[in-house]
Amino acid sequence: MSNKKVWPGSTQLLPIPAVLVGCGNGREMKYNLLTVAWTGIVCSDPAMLSVSIRPERFSYALIKRSGEFTVNMPSRKIASALDYCGVVSGRDHDKFNECSLTARPGETVQAPIVAECPVSLECRVSKTLELGSHVMFVADILAVQVDESLISNKGALDVRQADPIAYAHGGYYGIGDFIGGFGFSVKKKDGAR
Residues 14-73 that bind a copy of itself (CB under 8 A): 14-17, 19, 37-50, 52, 71, 73
Question: Under DSSP, is residue 163 helix (H, G, I), strand (E, B) or coil?
Answer: coil
Q: Measured on CA atoms in the order 97, 139, 72, 169, is the torsion positive or negative? A: positive
Rg (CA), the chain: 18
User: How far is 193 from 191, CA to CA, in rounded Å?
Assistant: 6
User: How far is 31 from 101, CA to CA, in rounded Å?
Assistant: 11
Choose the stretch contacting a copy of itself; rule: CB under 8 A; options: 23-31, 58-66, 89-97, 165-173: 165-173
Nearest distance in Å: CB 6, a copy of itself:
5
Nearest distance in Å: CB 69, a copy of itself:
13
> Using the rule CB under 8 A, which residue among 29, 30, 67, 76 binds a copy of itself?
76
> Using the rule CB under 8 A, which residue among 26, 61, 84, 110 binds a copy of itself?
84
146 binds a copy of itself (CB under 8 A): yes
Q: Which of 119, 113, 147 is nearest to 31 (CA)?
A: 113
191 binds a copy of itself (CB under 8 A): no
Tallying the residues shown for the chain, one arrives at 193
Nearest distance in Å: CB 96, a copy of itself:
14
101-120 mask for a copy of itself (x: CB under 8 A)? -x----x-----x-xx--xx
Q: Which of 94, 96, 51 is nearest to 78 (CA)?
A: 96
